[in-house]
Structure formats: structure tokens, C-alpha cells
């Protein structure tokens, strides 16, 4: 089984983990080597060999068959069990050290960032040095200097290790959220894309049927958009599309859905809005577009929008589909274009009426270039 490839955006957060894991193992080996309880026995050599070979297998064998996320989870489990086992085996398992160790896991995990974990590591080491000096000076306990100094790299490496793992987990979650967002949103405008719009229209239409409420849908088109691209270039054309998206977002209510259908066409889903309210909303949007200055400071210009609207009414259309709603709104847009552009046109969601305004063959529709 091939390992899942780590995305490039996460690669730099994965690289520190093997280095820190080796530091953890080397610090544990140092504990074994200087421990009087085990160094005089054959177990010391065996224990160190097990630590080194096991770590090599984890870091260089598992990546061939497992993803970076799975390996990070395994390392957390292994180290969480391995560190206490080493401390017990070397006779250095003390309550205060265990408290500090598991406190490190929680603090470093909560930090979620390697840099913050480094700061926490410095604070932890300073606090532990102060603790050691306090118990020694007050004669509560005599902690050998070599033991105290050996615990400092232990605390340091463990804090950094768990901080790096926490940052990787956080970045991976953000990466997944970005992928999920990108799948459903238009890259240029940031608005919902065609897929998201159609899914939302289907869901909203079902809710309208269930709760016996109206639903309006508008298809909006930039008038003469091809002329903008031909005259000013595609960079300015992209700015126009972004500005249109901003104006549409500003005109939307909190529960409306506005998105880019493709090219210079947008869809505006207006739940719980009857015909009259939808036409008023369309007129407000049309006027805001007409007043807006597009382009740049050096070269600005004004544009208009044509808007086609249809409305689902529960008392009239109980079996309408999302495709029928979108088609009726698109036919209304074509009518607005045919009647001179820069206007709002509403068509009812009824077959015979919509059929009267059936568009001509593809490619002959005025200003419908995408």
C-alpha cells in the first residue's frame, strides 16, 4: 500500500517532526546511559538498541505505507507510553516529573504552534531549574546536578516535539478546510460556484415546499461584458467580475445565496421572497450597478446589469424542480436582454408562459457570451 503524499503546503510542518523525534529518543538514551539503576546491567545496551532501532523503523519504515497524519498519531501514542516506561526503567520516575511531563503534552498541544511551544519550553526549563534550586536550598531533597541538567533537554525536546505535532495537526485541518472551501467557491470572486449554487437551490426549494413559503431566484448578467474584455483587457474584465460580486454580496440578506454561475453570469437565491419583493431587490441591485464606477482610477467606466427573476409560489407550483426554476430565471434574463438590457424582468414559473420566451438557438442570443 502506497503512502498518501503530503501536500506541499504542509511539507515544511512535517520536516521538523523526525528531527525532534530523534532528539526525544537520544535524550531517553542518555537517561538510560547515566542511570545507576540500569547501566550496570545488560539491559542498558538492549534498551538503547530497542529505542534506536524502533525509532528508525517508525521514521523510515512507516512512511512507505502510511500517511504523515497516521505517523504523527502513532508517534504521539508511542512517545506518550515510551517516556514513562523509560523513566520507570531507569528509576527516575517521580511524581513531580510525571506531572511536568503530562503538563507539557497539554500545554504544547494547546499552543498549536512550534514557536509558541519553544517559548513554553524556555519557561518550563526555567521553572524546573528554579524548582530544583528551591528544593536543594531548603534541604527538602538533594537533586544531583547531572540529574537536573539531564532533565532540561528532556523537558525541552518533549515540549518542542508535541508543539510541532500540534502545529502539523492544526495546519492539516486548515488545509482540509481550504480544500473544502475551494471545491465549492469560485476562485476569482470568492462567491459560491455553480456546484454549490445548484445544491443550495435544490435544498432551498425543498424547504420552501416543506414550509409552504415562496422562493425567488435571479440570474444576473453583465451587459456588454465582451466589449470590456476587448477594450480594456482580461485583467480589467476580472476586476469587473469581482466588483459585480461585491455589489451582489452587499445587496444580499444574511440568508440569501449569491454565486457565480459561470463567465459573467451570477445567480441570486432569495428565500421567502414573493414576486414584488424580488423585483424590488433586483431593481436596487440594478441601480447600484448603474451608479458604480468600474475599472481603475486611471480608467474608470460605468456598466449596467440585466436581471431575470422567477418565483416559486407554493399555491401555484407544487412540483417544480431546481432545473425548472433556473431555466425560468434564465429565460427572464434573456427577455431583459432582448428588451434592451439594463432592466429587471420577471417570468412566472409556468411552462406555457416560459415557452413564449424560449431563446433562439445557441450562439444567437444577444450579449450572452461567456
Q: Please tell me whether residues 210 and 175 are part of one structural domain.
A: no
Using CA atoms, how far residue 94 sits from 79, 105, 143, 155, 263, in Å, is 18, 17, 12, 14, 68
Q: Which of 54-68, 200-214, 340-354 has the highest mean pLDDT?
A: 200-214
Give the domain-ending residue among 184, 211, 239: 184
Is the predicted pLDDT of residue 198 greater than 90, yes or no?
A: yes
> Percentage of residues in the chain with pLDDT exceeding 90?
40
The residue with greater pLDDT, 232 or 165, is 232
Tell me how far apart the terminal alpha carbons of the chain are, to the nearest angstrom.
44
Look at the chain and count its residues: 370
Instruction: Specify the pLDDT at position 15.
Output: 67
39-53, 146-160, 235-249, 346-360: which has the minimum mean pLDDT? 346-360
What is the share, in percent, of the chain residues with pLDDT greater than 70? 70
Residue 361 has a pLDDT of 39
- Asked whether residue 301 carries a pLDDT value surpassing 70, the answer given is yes
State whether 257 and 286 are in the same domain.
yes
* Degrees, nearest 5: CA angle 63-69-73: 95
Residue 135: what pLDDT? 66
Q: Report in angstroms the alpha-carbon separations of 231 from 234, 293, 307, 366.
A: 9, 16, 24, 19
Q: How far is CA 204 from CA 193, 208, 296, in A?
A: 16, 6, 38
Question: With 60 as the cut, is the pLDDT of residue 89 above it?
Answer: yes
> By mean pLDDT, which of 173-177, 225-229, 262-266 is the weakest?
173-177
Query: Is residue 268 included in any domain, yes or no?
Result: yes
The reply to whether 361 falls in a domain is no
Mean predicted confidence (pLDDT) in 226-248: 93
Counting the structural domains of the chain, the total is 2
Return the higher-pLDDT residue of 263 and 175: 263
Q: Which helix (H) or strand (E) holds 344?
A: strand 344-346
129 plus 251 within the same structural domain:
no
d(CA 258, CA 270): 9
Is residue 363 included in any domain, yes or no?
Answer: no
Domain boundary among 134, 155, 184: 184
Residues 287-306 have a mean pLDDT of 93
Please indicate, yes or no, whether residues 96 and 133 belong to a single structural domain of this protein: yes
Min mean pLDDT across 17-31, 39-53, 147-161, 189-203 is at 147-161
Lookup result for grid cell 515540549? 159
Residue finishing a domain among 140, 156, 184: 184
Which of 338-342, 348-352, 360-364 has the highest average model confidence (pLDDT)?
A: 338-342
Using DSSP, state whether 264 is helix, strand or coil. Answer: coil
- What value does the mean pLDDT take over residues 292-302? 91
Q: Report the predicted TM-score, pTM, of the whole model to 2 decimal places.
A: 0.61
Banded pLDDT at 293 (limits 50, 70, 90): very high
| DSSP of 106-154 | HHHHHH-SHHHHHHHHHHHHHHHHHHHHHHHHTTS----HHHHHHHHHH
Q: What is the mean pLDDT of residues 305-317?
A: 90
pLDDT at 343: 96
- Alpha helices (runs of H) in 252-362, residue ranges in sequence order: 275-291, 322-338, 351-356
Q: Are residues 178 and 215 in the same domain?
A: no
- Domain span at 161: 8-184
- pLDDT, the chain, mean: 79
Over residues 236-264, the mean pLDDT reads 94
pLDDT by residue (tens digit) across 147-182? 666 666 666 777 777 777 777 777 778 888 888 888
Gap between the Cα atoms of 91 and 119, Å rounded = 29
Q: Give the CATH number of the domain where residue 324 resides.
A: 3.30.70.270
Q: Which residues contact 92 (CB under 8 A, 6 or more apart)?
A: 31, 35, 147
| Res. 189: pLDDT tops 90 | yes
Split at pLDDT 50, 70, 90, the class of 113 is low
Amino acid at each position: 500500500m502506497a503512502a498518501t503524499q503530503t501536500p506541499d503546503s504542509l511539507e515544511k510542518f512535517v520536516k521538523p517532526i523526525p528531527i525532534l523525534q530523534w532528539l526525544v529518543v537520544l535524550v531517553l538514551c542518555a537517561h538510560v546511559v547515566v542511570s545507576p539503576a540500569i547501566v550496570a546491567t545488560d539491559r542498558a545496551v538492549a534498551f538503547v538498541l530497542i529505542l534506536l532501532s524502533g525509532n528508525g523503523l517508525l521514521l523510515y519504515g512507516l512512511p512507505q505505507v502510511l500517511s504523515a497524519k497516521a505517523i504523527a498519531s502513532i508517534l504521539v501514542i508511542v512517545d506518550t507510553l515510551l517516556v514513562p516506561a523509560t523513566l520507570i526503567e531507569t528509576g527516575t520516575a517521580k511524581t513531580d516529573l510525571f506531572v511536568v511531563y503530562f503538563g507539557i503534552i497539554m500545554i504544547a498541544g494547546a499552543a498549536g504552534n512550534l514557536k509558541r511551544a519553544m517559548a513554553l519550553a524556555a519557561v518550563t526549563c526555567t521553572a524546573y531549574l528554579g524548582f530544583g534550586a528551591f528544593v536543594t536550598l531548603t534541604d527538602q531533597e538533594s537533586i544531583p546536578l547531572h540529574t537536573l541538567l539531564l532533565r532540561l533537554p528532556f523537558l525541552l525536546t518533549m515540549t518542542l516535539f508535541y508543539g510541532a505535532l500540534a502545529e502539523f495537526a492544526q495546519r492539516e485541518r486548515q488545509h482540509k478546510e481550504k480544500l473544502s472551501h475551494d471545491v465549492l467557491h469560485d476562485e476569482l470572486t470568492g462567491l459560491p460556484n455553480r456546484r454549490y449554487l445548484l445544491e443550495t437551490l435544490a435544498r432551498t426549494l425543498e424547504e420552501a415546499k416543506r414550509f409552504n413559503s415562496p422562493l425567488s431566484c435571479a440570474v444576473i448578467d453583465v451587459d456588454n461584458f465582451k466589449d470590456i474584455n476587448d477594450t480594456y483587457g482580461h485583467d480589467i474584465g476580472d476586476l469587473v467580475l469581482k466588483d459585480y460580486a461585491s455589489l451582489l454580496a452587499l445587496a444580499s440578506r444574511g440568508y440569501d445565496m449569491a454565486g457565480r454561475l459561470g463567465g459573467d453570469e451570477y445567480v441570486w437565491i432569495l428565500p421567502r421572497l414573493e414576486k414584488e419583493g424580488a423585483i424590488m431587490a433586483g431593481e436596487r441591485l440594478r441601480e447600484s450597478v448603474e451608479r458604480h464606477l468600474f475599472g481603475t482610477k486611471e480608467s474608470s467606466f460605468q456598466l449596467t446589469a440585466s436581471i431575470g427573476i422567477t418565483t416559486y409560489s407554493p399555491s401555484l407550483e407544487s412540483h417544480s424542480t431546481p432545473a425548472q426554476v433556473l431555466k425560468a430565471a434564465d429565460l427572464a434574463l434573456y427577455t431583459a436582454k432582448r428588451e434592451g438590457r439594463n432592466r429587471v424582468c420577471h417570468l412566472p414559473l409556468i411552462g406555457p408562459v416560459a415557452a413564449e420566451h424560449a431563446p433562439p438557438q445557441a450562439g444567437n442570443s444577444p450579449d450572452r457570451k461567456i
